């Protein structure tokens, strides 16, 4: 029962019942990425021409969409990475999830949340006085 309620109302746990029904009825499966996200399209949308969407595996986190699929979703490229033999460039880094808001988030030196002692002022800062 809990799973049914979550699918009915909660979009961040994958897909709602409306999205599931629309995907079942009008969606054409295009492919799946290494994170388990599934990509669909509907080629028969009159004013736009084509509609593309992703159904996330687990929590809906947009940073888990790889670069190749991102380009396809946003109509930057026409062929999906499954049909086009996409190989990452040598300068592309592997995916890292968005860590903002977690203990593993980036905290530069001098941040109030960073561990350690704040570096001393170097003299290039002068406090404003009215």
In a domain, 98, yes or no: yes
In a domain, 69, yes or no: yes
Number of domains into which the chain is organized: 1
In a domain, 127, yes or no: no
In a domain, 82, yes or no: yes
In a domain, 3, yes or no: yes
In a domain, 128, yes or no: no
Q: What is the residue range of 98's domain?
A: 1-122
pLDDT of residue 39: 92
For residues 123 and 109, give the distance between their C-alpha atoms in angstroms, rounded to a whole number: 17
Angle, alpha carbons 34-37-17 (nearest 5°) = 165
For residues 55 and 35, give the distance between their C-alpha atoms in angstroms, rounded to a whole number: 11
In a domain, 130, yes or no: no
* pLDDT one digit per residue (tens) for the chain, 130 residues: 666 666 566 555 566 667 777 777 778 898 998 888 999 988 877 776 788 888 888 777 788 888 888 888 998 888 888 877 777 788 888 777 788 888 888 888 777 777 766 666 667 677 788 8
Total residue length of the chain: 130
In a domain, 105, yes or no: yes
For residues 80 and 100, give the distance between their C-alpha atoms in angstroms, rounded to a whole number: 29
């Amino acid at each position: 029962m809990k799973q049914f309620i979550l699918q009915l109302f909660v979009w961040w746990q994958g897909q709602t019942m409306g999205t599931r029904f629309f995907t079942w009825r009008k969606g054409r499966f295009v492919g799946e990425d290494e994170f388990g996200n599934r990509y669909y399209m509907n080629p028969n949308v009159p004013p736009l021409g084509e509609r593309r969407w992703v159904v996330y595996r687990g929590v809906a986190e947009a940073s888990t969409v790889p670069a190749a699929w991102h380009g396809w979703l946003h109509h930057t490229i026409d062929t999906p990475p499954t049909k086009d033999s996409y190989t990452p460039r040598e300068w592309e880094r592997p995916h890292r999830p968005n860590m903002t808001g977690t203990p593993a988030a980036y905290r530069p030196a001098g941040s109030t949340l960073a561990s350690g002692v704040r570096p001393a002022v170097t003299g290039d800062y002068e406090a404003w006085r009215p």
